Amino acid sequence: MFDRVRISMCAGALALALAAPAAFAGTVTVNGTLGPPDPTMPVVAISTPNCTAQLVTPVQYEAIQVVVDVGGTYTFSQTSAGSSPGFASLYLMNSGFNPAAAFPNCLAASNGADPLGFTFALVSGVTYFAVPFDDQFAQPGGPYTLTISGPGNIFINGASAASIPALSSGALAVLAAMLVVAFALSRRRIAR
């Protein structure tokens, strides 16, 4: 009988853990470096937070695929520290991103002093591209850090940045009580 009690307590604790609401990471950071062999694209002119026109000057860029599982407002923030701090600017492109003709797909953009960024309402399950690019004439490149935060899981290039699901405080209290009872019963059995 004692083993059945322990088994049912463990099963109950597992059910609580699985039923508890998950705590999402809500923030992901991507560190990258712009420079050869990164591809180039004709620059899209920016009037933060808007994209205004496609120009001809080539700029080095990286395309980072972003998908979220909860729709809502997400914040994109970027810093860069190459030969000139703040050298990198940022676009947000829709799923039709085409580097050769990027302007029609540009949803938001930011350039200027670090940190730069914008907020944008993302739709759950839709593919977007965060596009850091070297915004200098000489294109010397350098490192950048992009941070995206919002209400749900953020998938970067197909990988989740979510934290391990956490138990609610009520579920933790029930689990703790069950463990105390199981411990007391096991001590009682050992004492016999």
pLDDT single digits (tens) 101-115: 999 999 999 998 899
Q: Which two tokens stand for residue 127?
A: 């593919």
pLDDT in tens, 15-73: 434 333 333 459 999 999 999 999 999 999 999 999 999 999 999 999 999 999 999 99
Domain boundaries, the chain: 27-160
With a cut of 70, say whether residue 192 has pLDDT above it: no
Residue type (1 letter), 85: P
Task: Say if residues 26 and 140 touch (Cβ distance below 8 Å).
Answer: no
Q: Is 90 exposed, middle or buried (0-12, 13-18, 19+ CB in 10 A)?
A: buried
- Please say whether the dihedral angle defined by the alpha carbons of residues 145, 150, 154 and 156, taken in this order, is positive or negative: negative
- Tell me the CATH number of domain 27-160, given options 3.40.50.300, 1.10.150.120, 3.80.30.20, 2.60.120.380: 2.60.120.380
Instruction: Specify the 3-state DSSP secondary structure of 21.
Output: coil
Task: Say if residues 163 and 24 touch (Cβ distance below 8 Å).
Answer: yes
pLDDT for position 113: 85
26: left (phi over 0), alpha (psi -120 to 50) or beta: left
In the structure, what pLDDT confidence band is assigned to residue 76 with cuts at 50, 70 and 90? very high
Question: Which has the closest alpha carbon to 86: 61, 110, 114, 47?
Answer: 114
Using CA atoms, how far apart are residues 30 and 65, in angstroms rounded to an integer?
11
Question: Which has the closest alpha carbon to 110: 147, 138, 141?
Answer: 147
In the structure, what pLDDT confidence band is assigned to residue 158 with cuts at 50, 70 and 90? confident
Instruction: Specify the 3-state DSSP secondary structure of 20.
Output: coil
